[in-house]
Amino acid sequence: MSEPTNGIAAGAQQPDDGALVRSARRGELAAFEELVRRYQRQATAIAYRLLNDRDDAMEVTQESFLNAFDRLGSLSDPGRFGPWLLRIVSNLSLNRRRARALRKTVSLDALGADDERGEMNRPDPHAVTPFQTVVAEEAKGLIARAIDELPDMQRQALVLFSIQNLPQKQVAEILGCSVEAVKWHVFTARKKLKDKLKDYL
């Protein structure tokens, strides 16, 4: 009979989040790497939906895991690592949005009429794109901008519940509010989106 590999017998149940957190607190880096593996895709998807920028989302996700690792000792319930991490992701995403908006304002203010480079990220006027692709991209952009313009709590609730399909109870835990508040934020966000996009849908 062969020996089990990695200290886990074939078919053995994987450790839950709580066990991994406790192991990571004892300095077992492999345990935290497993937590990263479990939540990286979901964390990145949420950051991307909140930021609408792939590079920013990747940076926020990495920063969130680093923060989580540094603050593992403050997690009162190790079994709730997932919601706790996603709350860090949401908070850092909002901070990044605010910093980005501030940079954009400063950049536009600093851009003079005699700017020789004129770096305004204008689309290439000579680019040729099939009509259907243009329409699809335009609709996608309109929806993304409409979501961007929602108040923070409404945008987070909509992304977590309607787009990431997290349970309302988990969304409430991530946002630090009641389930009823989550329902209200999602309802209000959907109504605002419907009103904003009524001429396009």
Contact 175, 182 (CB under 8 A): yes
The rounded Cα 47 to chain-centroid distance in angstroms is 2
Span of 9-23, 121-135, 154-168, 180-194 with lowest mean pLDDT: 121-135
pLDDT (mean) for 35-39: 96
User: How many structural domains is the chain composed of?
Assistant: 2
**Average predicted confidence (pLDDT) for the chain:** 80
Angle CA 75–80–85, to nearest 5: 70
30: domain CATH number is: 1.10.1740.10
Q: Is the pLDDT of residue 1 over 80?
A: no
On whether residue 116 sits in a domain, the answer given is: no
Residues 101 and 144 grouped into a single domain: no
On whether residue 8 sits in a domain, the answer given is: no
User: Which tens digit of pLDDT belongs to each residue from 101-117?
Assistant: 666 554 444 444 444 44
* Cβ contacts of 115 within 8 Å, gap of 6 or more: none
Span of 74-78, 118-122, 190-194 with lowest mean pLDDT: 118-122
* 11: phi then psi, degrees, rounded to nearest 5: 85, 0
DSSP sequence for 104-119: HHHHHHH--TT-SS--
Is 0.75 surpassed by the pTM of this model?
Answer: no
Residues 26 and 97 grouped into a single domain: yes
